[in-house]
Structure 1
Amino acid sequence: MSTKFIYDNFLLENKFAEELYHNYAKQQPIIDYHNHLPPQQIADDTIFSNITNVWINGDHYKWRAMRTLGVNEEFITGGASDEDKFKNWAKTVPYTMRNPLYHWTHLELARYFDIHELLNENSAERIYQETKEKLNTNAYSCQNLLHKVNVEVVCTTEDPIDNLEHHQKIAKSNLSIKVSTAFRPDKAIYINNEGYNSYIDLLENAADISINSYQDLCDALKSRIEFFDKNGCKLCDHGLDQIYFENFTENEVNLIFKKKRNNQEVSNKEALKFQSAILLFLSETYHEFEWVQQFHLGALRNNNERMLRVLGPDTGWDSIGDYSQAQKLSKFLNTLDSKDKLTKTILYNLNPADNEVMATMIGNFNDGSIKGKVQYGSGWWFLDQKDGMTKQINALSNMGLISCFIGMLTDSRSFLSFPRHEYFRRVLCNLLGDEIKRGELPNDMEWIGKMVSDISYNNAKEYFKF
């Protein structure tokens, strides 16, 4: 075995796993169909001044670990120098053993910088300086970081009010990597969120439509969908605690929306009716435009109100929620399907207790019209680690067809996160290799290798038609 921690056969425990990974998975391009990368940095081909800027800033996975170790916020999101922030992360890394951060950290150092030294307090200064020297060259520009790991498609996530200027700039450039976007209209759905009316005012300006009624809102959102579609968008995404499905009438929903626009209180029951209506409208519109819709379900967000006030959302204060998912999700999908308006759909759960719920739910609406039309998405957020990936793969295998699965995504804000695809592929190949070794699968490398290639790349290529 190599003395390197990240060596050629990392996570691959037998010769079958090794053959599957090296011959069928390793060289496949990456289609990263959901992430939160800033498109401006791609458009501008940003050169990062140091590793903190590209690796630690914005990464709430790392922030949570540092806070747990007792690192002061000054060295996480505060005013400390970039070098001091990196050194505090380096001090934290040895304590992350058995957390996926330990694996990801060393995979990313190896793949982008050819650094195989373990990151800790003793190596921090050397690694900071070596990565800084490399990052300050054109070879490590934003676009070249994507090229280094064989990225073919990147799909960022934008709000309906976004003018997509950075995507337009990228489209006119010579970049060989396909960069698209996904439409994320959550702020238009959550009617009782603070600042809802202010957001609708921004949507009015973006759509150039006065929004005084529920129909106006629908017209404005459809106008933005048309705009996104003209700019190459073929996906949407929703981050919801659960799918909403309450009975409603158009008149009820219109009155609820007008109450809100008049700054009157909307009850929880009224909010659920409104959210149900707008979600169905959006999904029917996605079908009209032949988009893929994604639903990320089950996060309990912004638990720490004190830190939310200080730092804002998406800064590391979210956790797994225990919402009821099955019944309303079924009714929602069934309503769309009964109208023949169910578009390609990907379901992601954050609570692992819902794995089998999602794995069986997709089978209810895979109607033979499209291969893998309704997908059970990869392990997400707290579940995008070895154990979470394995459990998702097993649930889908046991209750569906893993061979139709469209594989991994990063869901990340960092340009150094793409080795997560490699991590997923190694986990997949080791799982299959182990079953070949035990005789649970045949030693048919041609067929199982094809399945690995399909899950790693080909299925997503066919599904999204980028």
Structure 2
Amino acid sequence: MTEGTLITDDFLLTNKKAVLLYHEYAKNLPVIDFHNHLAPSQIAENKKFANLTEIWLKGDHYKWRAMRALGVDERLITGNASDYDKFKAWADIVPATLRNPLFHWTHMELKNPFGIHEYLNAGSADSIYQRTNELLSQDGFTSRSLLKKFKVEMLSTTDDPCDDLTYHQQLNNEGFEIRVKPSFRPDKVFAISKPDSFKHYLKLLSEKSGIAITDLSSLLDALKNRVDFFDLHHCSISDHGLSILPSRFTLSPAEEQEFKVFLKSDQAVFSNPDAFTGLILTELCKMYHQRGWVQQFHIGAIRNNNIGMLHKLGPDTGFDSIGDYKHAENLTAFLSYLNLTDQLTRTVVYNLNPADNEMIATMLGNFADGRVKGKMQFGSGWWFLDQKDGIEKQLNALSNMGIVSSFIGMLTDSRSFLSYSRHEYFRRILCNLLGSEMETGLLPDDEKWVGGMISDICYHNAKNYFGLNPQN
């Protein structure tokens, strides 16, 4: 196979305007990464990774799905095979991933930060593994060094309300130049349909908050205690992973009494989990509004479809997909409920089903308030949609039915320190889209005008939206 890859300086830039826009207005901007799943412990400890498998393949369910689809045995994916054998299994199937975004991402991540300009395949696997491992053993390739290489200015990790935020506090006390902020992700408190794990989680929440949870009121007090704790530790972002937003936001007196009995009994089912989720979620959202936080909602995934593999490997192992939920009525009811009392804070909604793009773009426009620029954000292409086609569809829906110039741009949403190439990928796609329209006369032939908008989308809008001034 050819030695040089297609990941050149002008990769994805198909016209002269796109090349100019990317290199002059996007390429060198810092990164504001307002949602990822990096482990704060690995940043605080300035982790040095043992090999390329550890930093690149472990936890990457995108790659795992591709390997399974191509007949790779689970032992070489999540099993007990050696790190070298797992990497070799991945390298062997990379040539077969043509037209899947993994093919582009793989070679972008090898080029930056490792400087590797050849295709990964069975023939190149050994030399690439050796070269990357040599680099990973150096101080310039620790977790913190990699963040600096990718020009990360701020990143927000995903943290459970019961987390003690020790590593965030350590990084803050050290004065680490990259702001590492927690985000509040209370998904486990909505899992009332799984009573054993739910009640176990409430015991932990009770311990962490110092509040005995015996009813609805004390549960909300415990959550407020944790929101306050996160706020003291420089949190200003919340996040929620829900298949669909709830449709009811109150419990009847009888349901409140039922919840109290449910907590202290062996009752297996709570009669109205939708209303419970709605009440807890909206009360949390009011707390976010009071503190000036941003709230994020990732909606539309149907998770853990392969029950056998869920039992074997647990969640987040590559068995989730796009759901076909009907979001419109629930979304408008939820946003309206908070807006009625002027308690709707800045909001980002990420959609997983492209069939819902236009609905969500128009729905969010209903709740712009004329006070905060870009208050209601249609989030970037997420999960299965963070590839070229998905990114372009999201940008087009937002452009046609909203205002793309106030868009806050891309995020990483990854557990890998190498995934910051996703920001480069997004920026190239954005510049190519706008550059093409300049070439065809759909946009003004004004480099500074269009380039300024690109710089805003890639960096400045997010910096302003998340209030990243020195005291925050």
TM-score range, shorter chain: over 0.9
CA–CA distance in structure 1, aligned partners of residues 21 and 254 of structure 2: 56
Task: Give the Cα separation in 2 of the matches to 1:260 and 1:88.
Answer: 49
2:460 — aligned with what? 458
Matching residue within 434, 437, 452 for 2:436: 434
> Match for 1:200 among 188, 199, 202?
202
Residue 173 of structure 1 pairs with residue 186 of structure 2: no
Cα deviation, residue 247, structure 1: 5.5
Q: Deviations over 1:224-269 (max 9, x none)?
A: 00000000000000000111022633524422422431231335x5
Distance 1:265 1:284 in 2: 30
Whether the 8 Å CA contact 2:361–2:378 is kept in 1: the answer is: yes
Helix, strand or coil at the partner of 1:183: coil
- Alpha-carbon deviations, 1:268-302, whole Å to 9, x = none? x5111111111111111111111100000010000
TM-score, structure 2 length as denominator?
Answer: 0.97
Structure 2 spans left out of the alignment, 5+ residues: none
Task: Note closer, same or farther for the CA distance 1:448–1:212 as it changes in structure 2 (3 Å cut).
Answer: same
Aligned to 2:127: 126
1:49-96 C-alpha deviation (Å, 9 max, x unpaired)? 101000000110111001111111111111111111101110121111
- Show CA shifts across 1:120-166 (max 9, x none): 11100000000000000111010001111111111100000000011
- 1:36, CA displacement in angstroms? 0.4
> 1:86-165 to 2 correspondence within 5 Å?
86-165=87-166
Task: Give the CA deviation at 1:221.
Answer: 0.4
Work out whether 1:374 is the aligned partner of 2:376: yes
Cα offsets for 1:189-215 (capped at 9, x unmatched) = 121125110010000011010000000
Counterpart residue identity of residue 392, structure 2: T
Normalised by the length of structure 1, the TM-score is 0.98
Q: Which amino acid aligns with 2:436?
A: D
2:100 pairs with 1:70 = no
SS in 2 for 1:195: helix
Residue 288 of structure 2 is aligned to residue 323 of structure 1: no
**Rounded Cα–Cα distance in structure 2 between residues aligned with 1:247 and 1:295:** 17
How much does 1:172 deviate?
1.3
C-alpha deviations, 1:340-386, integer Å up to 9, x for none? 00000000111111100111011000111100001000000000000
The change in CA–CA distance for 1:247 and 1:150 in structure 2 (over 3 A counts) is closer
Equivalences, count: 464
Write the distance in 2 (CA, Å) between the matches of 1:247 and 1:284. 12
Secondary structure of 1:83's counterpart equals helix
SS at match of 2:158: strand
Question: What SS does the aligned partner of 1:236 have?
Answer: strand
Alignment of 1:8-407 (within 5 A): 8-193=9-194, 194-246=196-248, 248-249=250-251, 251-261=253-263, 262-267=265-270, 270-407=272-409
Q: Give the whole-Å Cα distance in 2 for the aligned partners of 1:377 and 1:146.
A: 23
Gap runs ≥5 in structure 1: none
Letter in 2 for 1:431: L
In the aligned structure 1, how far is the partner of 2:349 from the partner of 2:165?
A: 26
Distance 1:415 1:5 in 2: 23
Aligned CA-pair RMSD:
1.1
Q: Which amino acid aligns with 1:211?
A: I
CA distance in structure 1 between the aligned counterparts of 2:312 and 2:397, rounded to whole angstroms: 40
Q: 2:415 aligns with which of 413, 416, 419?
A: 413
Residues 356 and 395, structure 1, Cα contact 8 Å, conserved in 2 = yes
Determine the C-alpha separation between the residues in 2 that align with 1:66 and 1:263.
42
Distance in 2 of aligned mates of 1:450 and 1:159: 37
The DSSP-based 3-state class of the residue aligned with 1:221 is: helix
Is the 1:24–1:453 Cα contact (8 Å) retained in structure 2?
yes
Kindly provide the amino acid, as one letter, of the partner of residue 394 in structure 1.
N
Cα pair 1:256 1:274 within 8 Å, conserved = no
Cα separation, partners in 2 of 1:40 and 1:421, compared to 1, 3 Å: same
Task: State whether residues 249 and 276 of structure 2, in contact with CA within 8 Å, keep that contact through their aligned partners in structure 1.
Answer: no
Larger mean CA deviation between 451-460 and 436-445 belongs to: 436-445
> Is this contact kept in 2: 1:253–1:277, CA < 8 A?
no
Cα distance per residue 1:306-359 (max 9 Å; x no partner): 111111110111001111101111011011011000000000111111100111
